[in-house]
Every structure is written in C-alpha cells, then in structure tokens.
Amino acid sequence: RLLASLAHSVLSDYSADVRAYSARALEWLSADIHFPMPCHRILLKALTTASQWTKTTCIAEALKMQASLSENRKPMVEHPGLLDAIATLSLLDGITDDEVKTCAISALERLSKEASTRHIMVKNEGVMTALTKATFANDGADDDFPDEGTPTALLMKTALKNLAEHM
C-alpha cells in the first residue's frame, strides 16, 4: 500500500514538495527492493505509474538503478507497461528533460544486456523508436569530438547491438 500511495502522490498531490519527496522516497526504496522480494512487482508498478512525472530525475534514476542489477532485468522487461514507460522517458524532448532522458536511455541499455528478454524488447515499438532516435541524435556534443558521438548515442548503439540478433 505504501508504494502505491507514493506513486499516487507523485502524480496527484497539490504540493510540489510532496510530489518531489514522494518521488525521492520511491527512488530510495528502489535501492533496497529487488527481485525476488515479494514487493518487487509492486515497486515496478509504482515506478511505472510514477514515471509520468518528469520534474525530477528520481523516477528515471530509480528505473536505471533497478536495471543495473541483473536479477531485476527479466522482471522489469516482463512487467506490463514498464518498457513503454522507460521508452516514453527516453523520448522526452523538453528543454529541461535531458537528465531524465539520459537516465531512461541508460536503463534501456542495461535492460538490453539480458539475453533472455531481448526478444521482448525488440518487439516493443517504443523501445525501438527510442533506441533508433537516440542513436542518431545530434545534440551538438559531437561537434567537438566528431569520432566520439554523444554518450547517449553510444549507449543506444550498444543496446541496438545487443538486440540486433533478435530483429
């Protein structure tokens, strides 16, 4: 019930402070809740719901942190709506969305490391759109280092390479 309440507060509380603190609480809890804990599925649902709020990086950071642990990757990819939520964050285009977008792209790259779920990821339209768009993004960072590419683009190229055999 706590996780669901925090996700609800992130989206609907009238106070910006309460929304921010609720998002931060979900980020902190995601550092300690992992598969196969019984509440892991509930955390994933809360993060999926709360991902609609992008005023801070808390939720995207939580998703990236979850994707960092190999035991969490399969449950994340298989969780209803989670890939779509991360893909949506990866496609954000606002002037203040860069950090959230980068966290989400990092989460996708980490999820692509799980060989057993790559076939699911390649069938997700949002994921493939996000990967393709980020791979060919030009945010000006590569003007100084033409051979380097942007860090985000390099993450997505890695993810696409991981998923290529399942396309």
Amino acid at residue number 41: R
Residue with tokens 């590419």: 149
DSSP state of 94: S
Q: What is the pLDDT of residues 98-113, one digit of tens each?
A: 999 999 999 999 999 9
Whole-number Å distance between alpha carbons of 120 and 130: 15
What's the pLDDT tens digit per position in 58-112?
Answer: 999 999 999 999 999 999 999 999 999 999 999 999 999 999 999 999 999 999 9
Confidence band for 153, pLDDT divided at 50, 70 and 90? confident
pTM of structure = 0.90
What is the 3-state secondary structure of 18-87? HHHHHHHHHHHHHCCCCCCCCCHHHHHHHHHHHCCCCCCCHHHHHHHHHHHCHHHHHHHHHCCCHHHHHH
